[in-house]
Amino acid sequence: MPVDPSIESLLALINSPGMPGLAAGTPDEARRNFRAFTVDVRNPSTLVPVASISDVTVGALPGRVYRPDGDGPVPTVVFFHGGGFVLGDLDTHDDHARWICREVGAVVLSVGYRLAPESPWPGPVEDALSAVRWASEHIDSLGGDASRIAVAGDSAGGNLAAVVAQDCRDAGGPAIAAQLLIYPATDFVEEYPSMAENAEGYFLTGTDMAWFTTNYVPPTADVSDPRLSPLRGRLEGLPPAVVVTAEFDPLRDAGEAYAAALSAAGVPTRAHRFDGLIHGFFAMTVASPAAEKALRESCASLRELLG
């Protein structure tokens, strides 16, 4: 199907002359551009309301806790933001965490992990793992239910969530009850057809992907290492998963390959492919009713998995 009409207007802005791409300039310049595009233009009145928000320190990392309405124990979702492991922070993905908090009925701990190239792989992986362990140790002051800790993330954050789920299984804990992988990067080995089909014109480009990879992956790294490419890992015994993909996304096929592999390994998996949408649609709900509907459907699946 064609790009959703509500997304077309956003793409016209993104692709307009003079609009910097995600990979424009140095990493610091790209970060400033990304914040300008996501945070600086945001109307605070459009942010999803939650019961409370507080900043915390997660070990040595910045974190932010979002609490839903209601009393009693609730699930805790540890959320890792996207941005190609180079961009993004707690502010750029503030509304992602708000939506998940409200729609899932969970406490969300959003984590500001270290970024590449200053901290290339496996630095962000180590941060993500330490954040989940911190959440488990502090579960009484978070959601209060140790049996319902989930991991979630979009794009690069989806990669980290998938890697954490595998590591926690292999390490014997903390126990992860579910995972929400939003257009995740799952494989640095294979070049999938969607990488070429959607390489230009749909926000995340092939040039962006190459730049992110150069900054994140050391030249000596084994790209088949499951902590880098979770699709290459052992998938049996992983927690139930919700895997979200978008039709016009370079990462579409890798995400769908991961969903299929999880299912083949016996992992209860809910795969949502949203036609007409692009990479990053979780941040486009204000402008796109289709994106909001897709986000709500994705969160509803996680809510059902967590009970």
Task: Encode 241-298 in three state secondary structure.
Answer: EEEEEEEECCCHHHHHHHHHHHHHCCCCEEEEEEEEEECCHHHCCCCCHHHHHHHHHH
CB 116 within 8 A of CB 123: yes
Dihedral through CA 122, CA 31, CA 99, CA 80, nearest 10?
10
Which are the catalytic amino acids?
155
d(CA 147, CA 157): 22
Structure tokens at 67: 């609490």
DSSP string, 126-179: HHHHHHHHHHHHTGGGTTEEEEEEEEEEETHHHHHHHHHHHHHHHHT-S---EE
Those residues with Cβ within 8 angstroms of residue 128's Cβ, 6 or more apart along the chain or in another chain: 80, 111, 113, 160, 161, 163, 164
